[in-house]
Amino acid sequence: MQEEEKYETIIVHSAVYKTEYTTKYRNRVKWEKPDENQLFSFIPGTIIDVFVKPGDVLKEGDPLLILEAMKMHNVVQMPFDGKIATVNVKTGDKIPKGSLMIEIAAKK
């Protein structure tokens, strides 16, 4: 059955259907559980200032950096108490949305 081989499959309620995919379906973003220790940019913009370096131990709410976007200065804060593991941006960087800016050390 050569005919069958060119089809993709879709599973709905345990039944396997032979069918074709659309480009949009192929390009869909698969969901992943977010890692709370990774701080991504929520909007594209420019890094105006970075206040922290790796190894810094900080309290929840401490300012980490300023991300300028759409003429607004957004202060990115520490989401919870912890230690900075890596800082991936420096002053002047232009970053797209969803880029990893800072990583917090995983809690033991």
Partner 1 sequence: MSLKRNILDLRKRKSEVLKGGGEKAIEKQVAMGKLTARERILYILDEGSFHEYDMFVEHVARDFDMDKMKLHGDGVIIGTGTINGSPVCIFAQDFTVAGGSLGLMHARKITKIMDHSLKMRVPLIGINDSGGARIQEGVNSLAGYGEIFFRNTLASGVIPQISVILGPCAGGAVYSPALTDFVFVVNNISKMFITGPGVIKTVLGEEISMEDLGGAKVHAEVTGNAHFYAESEQECFDQIKKLVSYIPWNNEQKAERIAPAEPKSKKKIENIVPADPKMPYDIRDIIKSITDNSDFFEIMEMFAPNVVIGFGRMEGETVGFVANQPKVLAGVLDCDSSDKAARFIRYCDAFNIPIITLEDLPGYLPGADQEHAGVIRHGAKILYAYSEATVAKITVIIRKAYGGGYIAMNSRHLRADFVFAWPTAEIAVMGPEGAANIVFRKEIAEAEDPEAMRQLKIQEYKDKFANPYVAASKGYIDEVIEPEDTRKMLLHALKVSANKSISGPRKKHGIPPF
Q: Token pair of 52, please? A: 């922290």
Q: Token pair of 16, please? A: 């396997």
The yes or no reply on residue 11 touching partner 1 (CB under 8 A) is: yes
The yes or no reply on residue 26 touching partner 1 (CB under 8 A) is: no
Contact residue for partner 1 among 2, 5, 12, 53 (CB under 8 A): 12
Give the C-alpha distances (Å, rounded to integers) separating 92 from 62, 64, 67, 78, 82. Answer: 21, 15, 10, 21, 26
Amino acid of residue 68 = E
Find the part of the chain contacting partner 1 (CB under 8 A) among 54-62, 77-85, 91-99, 100-108.
91-99
Residues that bind partner 1 (CB under 8 A): 7, 10-25, 28-31, 44, 69-70, 94-97
